[in-house]
Structure 1
């Protein structure tokens, strides 16, 4: 029987331990082997150490802090890197942000096999999600299904380059410095910043208002 290696990625070690404890009840039935990672840096190292084979499933908290090296600006960006290098890995996203724009963005970018809102997660939901994804099905927790069925579904997509712009602005970098860190010309970055302000509802606002809106939506 195929061994299903499950990488649980969360910056709260007690959460990881709790998930392992909960999933122990189906570990034998699904032939699961648990692995842990508590940071973007930890996962990036695991990716560098793996030439071809990676984990069958990644349970990913998209609210992870950025890597210290700046390669991944958060959990969603990390997920994109996993998806790009190891397309066979199935990704179950988890987030504490119950916001339609966050969910929309993640569906656009990652197309995860599973999506869990943390307030939905209990023993049954976690077991159902992992069991479904192992068996080749998708699983979305109740709040995700409700938000996706909302008639006011928003189309707010903040791609990897836009997140890098927001991330570097949040660190205090000046606009003229961003081309040194982002592979775009300054005019292109300016256009993207203008589009971001419109997307996030602060079209005529300052950079600080843009960053506040981005934090509220969970993009930084």
Structure 2
């Protein structure tokens, strides 16, 4: 993978275990981190959690590339903030295409702060304020809320949410969306996300 990424013009830094990955990530500030679930010293999920907890890595793309393909591991990887989860075997061409697609999607993202009544959503800081109080959401929780809040009152279908927040190449179940919606409601302490039974979700105050 290093050989193929380098051939595409990417500068690649490798690490032999989770601790070294964190240390090198802090030192080099990469645009993309590729993790395996099973790694020495710290697992890929632990590394992902540690990096996502730091403001310096809020915009860093994180991909799991692993032979671990059970649903539970995929859900944990995505819920800790990964942008994609690929299971081996995967061809270098497919892997490169997924990386390039993530960067294209990231570069197309329009960033603007949303302010409505008692809530402010700031995508630059990945921060939400409710009645002036800062609320910290996980990366995917924030992206889901931001997607819904950009068009208040509009019902977003489940498949639409999966495609826009997790990407149409990532396989996750409806339960993943439900878990993220529940956490958003709990953290914000206000009922701003409405469930449209059998259809999807909408943002309204």
Q: What is the TM-score normalised by the length of structure 2?
A: 0.49
Q: Which has the bigger relative contact order, CA under 8 A and spacing at least 6? A: 1
Q: What is the TM-score normalised by the length of structure 1?
A: 0.46
